[in-house]
Amino acid sequence: MSRTITIKALKYNPNSKVSKPHVAEYKLEETDGMTLFVALSKIRETMDPDLSFDFVCRAGICGSCGMMVNGKPALACRTLTKNYESGVLELFPMPAFKLIKDLSVDTGNWMNDMSKRVESWIHTNEEVDFSKLEKPIEPEVAQEVFELDRCIECGICVAACGTKLMRPNFVGAVGLNRVARFELDPHDNRTIEDYYELVGDDDGIFGCMSLLACEDNCPKHLPLQSKIAYMRRKLVSLR
Amino acid sequence: MSELIEGFLGKSIEGRKSRLPAKLDYLQSATGLFLGLFMWGHMFFVSSILISKDFMYAVARFFEGSFIFEEPKPGLVSIVVAVVFLIFIVHAALGMRKLPANFRQWQVYRTHMKMMSHEDTTLWFIQAITGFAMFFMGSAHLFLMLTQPSTIGPFGSGDRMVFMWPFYLLLLLAVEFHGGIGLYRLSVKWGWFEGENAKQTRATLKKVKWAITVFFLALGTLTLVAYLKIGLENIDQNRVGQKYAPTTQIHEIYQAKVRA
Ligand code: HEM
Ligand code: SF4
Ligand code: FES
C-alpha cells in the first residue's frame, strides 16, 4: 500500500545576500523500498530543481550523503522512508561542517584537515621494496586495523557530537579513531609520545566528554567508544 | 624561563606538548570517583536513622572518635569534612572547564540535545546543571558541617530538617543524578568492565546506573522524612536544640540513681 509522505527540508544559501533560511515542504507518493536518495532526487526532478544535496555512491560507501533526519544524523542513501511511521521526514544539513547550501555541507575539506592534523598516514623509516613480498602481519592484528579502516568519513560522528558543536576545534571521533587505527598498525613506527603530540590536549582526546552519540550513530558501527577509551588510557599513562 | 615559554607557546622547552591536560583529565575522574563513592557511604551513614535513633547516635559518635576518646571530638568530623571539601572544590574547578561558557555554546547544545533526543547527550546536560547547582548547595552544606559538626545527631539533624528540608531535597536530587550519571560516564570513559562486548556492557551499566539512582533517591527521601519527623516531634515536645541522650545512657543514669 502506498502512502503520501512529507519531506521537509531546510533551504538556505549562506553565500547569497537574499537567501533567508526556511523549511520547504514537499509531498510525494512513497514507492517500494524508497530511500531518502530516491525521494530527494524525485523532488529535485519534479518539484524543486534548486534543492541542493549530495550523493555519489547511493550504497553507503562514499560517505557523502550524511544529513540530519528527524534530528539524527544518518546516511540518506541508506535511510528507508518506510521506517518513519508518521510519514514526515524533516531534513537539516549536518551541523559542525561548513554549510554549502540547503542539505549540502563540506565534509571533504574538513576530513582533509583532520587527516593532516592526526597525520593519517604510515610513519616509518623502512624503505618499502615493491618487488618483494610484503612483510607478514598477524591476521588478528590486520583484522583489527581493517575494522577501524572501514570508516567512510561521512562525518556523522562529528555531527552527532555535542562536544564538537560546543567546541569547534575538537577532533571528533573520526579523528580519534584514526589515531587508534595507526597505533594498532605495526607498520607504523610512531610511539604513544608521538600520538600525544597530535591529540594529547583538550581539543583532542581529553576534550571528549563521553557523550557517545558517535558510537550510537556511526553507520559503519565502528567501536568508537572502546577505541577512544583505549587511546585515553594510553595517553594518560604517559609520564 | 621555561615556565614562561611553556605558558606562552603551550609547549615545553623540549618542544613537547604539556602533560598537564592528561593529569587534569585523570584528576577530574579521580575526584569524581572519590566523591561518587563517598556519597554512597555517606548515604548509608545518614540513613542509619531508619534503624533507630540510638544507632544513628552511635554512628555520629563514632565519627567523633568514640572508638578512642571518652569525650566526643567534633573536630574530627571537621577534619574529614575539610578533606572532602577540598576534593569537592578541585572537582568543581575541573568540571567547570566543561560547562558551556557562553550563550552560543549553551544554545547550540540545547538545540542539539532536543533534536537528537540521545540519552547520553541529555544525561550530560543534567550532569552539568546539577553540577552547577552543587557549586552553591554543596558548598553551603559542607560549610555547615565544617563549622557545626557537633550539631550532627538524631535531634540536631532532625531540628535542622524542619527549616532546611527543601534545600536538602534539592541537594539529594542533584547529588544522586550527578553522581549516578558521573559513575556511569566514568566506566564508559575509561572502558572499565568493558569485556568482550562493549555495547552490551554499556547497556547493562546504564540499567545498573538507573537502579542505583532510584535506590539512593528512595533511601534518601525516607531518611529525610525520618529526620523531619523527629524535628517536628521535638517542636511538639518542646525539646528543640536539645542533645539526644541514647537509651543505654538513660538506662545507665537510671541504674546509677537506683544504686544510689
Ligand atoms: C560544585 C560541584 C560540582 C560540579 C560543578 C561538578 C561538575 C562536573 C562536571 C561538569 C562533570 C563532567 C565532566 C566531563 O564531562 O568530563 C563532572 C563529572 C563527574 N562528577 Fe561532578 N561536579 C560537582 C560535584 C560532584 C559531586 C558532589 C559528586 C559526587 C556525587 C560528583 C561526581 C562526579 C563524577 C563521578 C563525575 C565523572 C567524572 C568524569 O567524567 O571524569 N561531582 N562533574
Ligand atoms: S567513524 Fe563512523 S560516523 Fe564517523 S566518519 Fe567514520 S563511518 Fe562516519
Ligand atoms: S551516497 Fe555514498 S554513502 Fe550515501
* Tens-digit pLDDT profile for residues A82-124: 999 999 999 999 999 999 999 999 999 999 999 999 999 999 9
Percent of chain B with pLDDT over 70: 96
- CB under 8 Å to A141, separation ≥6 — which residues? A184, A185, A186
Closest C-alpha among A18, A39, A132, A156 to residue A89: A39
At residue A209, the pLDDT reads 98
Q: Please give all residues whose beta carbon lies within 6 A of any atom in ligand 3, as ranges.
A: A 55-58, 60-65, 75, 77
Which own/partner contact pairs does B213-222 have at CB distance under 8 Å and 24+ positions apart? B213/B176, B213/B177, B213/B180, B216/B39, B216/B40, B216/B43, B216/B176, B216/B180, B217/B172, B217/B173, B217/B176, B219/B43, B219/B47, B219/B50, B220/B43, B220/B47, B220/B172, B220/B176, B221/B169, B221/B172, B222/B47, B222/B50
Question: Of B101, B122, B33, B46, whose CA–CA distance to B77 is shortest?
Answer: B46
pLDDT, averaged across chain B: 94
- Identify which ligand lies nearest to the alpha carbon of A59: 3
Which pLDDT tens digit goes with each residue over B105-116?
Answer: 999 999 999 999
- The pLDDT assigned to A88 comes to 98
The span from the CA of A171 to the CA of A179, in Å, is 11
% of chain B beyond a pLDDT of 90: 86
Tally A–B CB contacts below 8 A.
95
Residues forming beta bridges with residue B96, ordered by sequence position: none
Whether the pLDDT of residue B139 is over 90: the answer is: yes
Residue with the smallest CA separation from ligand 3 atom 3 is A60
Contacts of residue B26 in chain A, CB cutoff 8 Å?
A: 236
State ipTM. Answer: 0.94
pLDDT digit string, tens, across residues B218-231: 999 999 999 999 99
| Residue B162 pLDDT | 97
Query: Which chain B residues are closer than 8 Å to A223 by Cβ?
Result: 198
User: Is A233 close to B25, i.e. CB distance below 8 A?
Assistant: no
Task: Indicate whether B243 pLDDT > 80.
Answer: yes
Mean pLDDT confidence for B72-88: 97
Please determine, for residue B239, whether its predicted confidence score (pLDDT) is greater than 70.
Answer: yes
* Residue B211 pLDDT level (bands cut at 50, 70, 90): very high
Which residue type sits at B169?
Answer: L
Q: Which residues have C-beta within 8 Å of that of residue A67, sequence separation ≥ 6?
A: A36, A53, A73, A74, A76, A91, A92, A93, A94, A103
Q: Closest by alpha carbon to B231, among B154, B130, B147, B136?
A: B154
A141: pLDDT confidence band, cut at 50, 70 and 90? very high
By the CB < 8 Å criterion, does B207 face chain A?
A: no
Q: What is the pLDDT of residue B10?
A: 83
Q: B120 vs A212: CB contact, 8 Å cut-off?
A: yes
Amino acid at position B124, single letter: W
Q: What amino acid is encoded at A205 in this protein?
A: I
CB B223 within 8 A of CB B49: yes
**Summary count for chain A: helices (H), strands (E):** 9, 7
CB contact A91 to B (< 8 Å):
no
Residue A238 and residue A191 in contact, taking contact as beta carbons nearer than 8 Å: no
Q: Which domains does chain B have, with CATH numbers?
A: 33-251 (1.20.1300.10)
Which of the four pLDDT bands, split at 50, 70 and 90, describes residue B250?
Answer: low
pLDDT tens-digit readout, B91-104: 999 999 999 999 99
Task: Provide, rounded to the nearest whole percent, the portion of chain A with pLDDT above 70.
Answer: 100
DSSP A28: E
Tell whether pTM > 0.80. yes
- Among protein residues, the one whose CA lies closest to atom 22 of ligand 1: B131
Closest partner residue to A166 (CB to CB) among B16, B105, B202 is B105
Residue A163's pLDDT is 98
Task: Give the minimum alpha-carbon distance from A185 to chain B in angstroms, rounded to a whole number.
Answer: 21
Cell of residue B243, nine digits: 542533645
pLDDT recorded at residue A133: 85
- pLDDT score of B253: 64
Atom of ligand 2 lying closest to residue A155 CA: 5
Mutate to test the pocket of ligand 2, among A78, A222, A224, A227 (most ligand atoms within 8 A of CB): A222
> What value does the mean pLDDT take over residues A16-32?
97
Closest Cα of chain B to A159: distance in Å? 9
For A182-220, what is each residue's pLDDT tens digit? 999 999 999 999 999 999 999 999 999 999 999 999 999
Q: Is a pLDDT exceeding 90 seen at residue B165? A: yes
Q: How far is B17 from chain A, CA to nearest CA, in Å?
A: 6
The pLDDT assigned to A54 comes to 97
Residues 6+ apart with CB under 8 A from B165: B224, B228
Query: Are the beta carbons of A175 and A199 closer than 8 angstroms?
Result: yes
Distance CA A159, CA A95 (A): 5
Nearest residue (by CA) to ligand 2, atom 1, is A174
Backbone phi and psi for residue A89, each to the nearest 5 degrees, phi listed first? -125, 120
DSSP B239: -
Between CA A101 and CA A53 the distance in angstroms is: 8
Residue whose C-alpha cell is 564538537: A164
In this prediction, residue B11 carries a pLDDT of 85
| Residue B105 confidence (pLDDT) | 98
State residue B234's pLDDT score: 96
> Who lines ligand 2 at CB under 6 A?
A 151-157, 173-174, 177, 218-220, 222
Please report the pLDDT score of residue B251 as a whole number.
Answer: 64
- Counting ligand 2 atoms within 8 A of each CB, the residue from A146, A157, A163, A226 with the most, and so the one to mutate, is A157
DSSP designation for A14: T
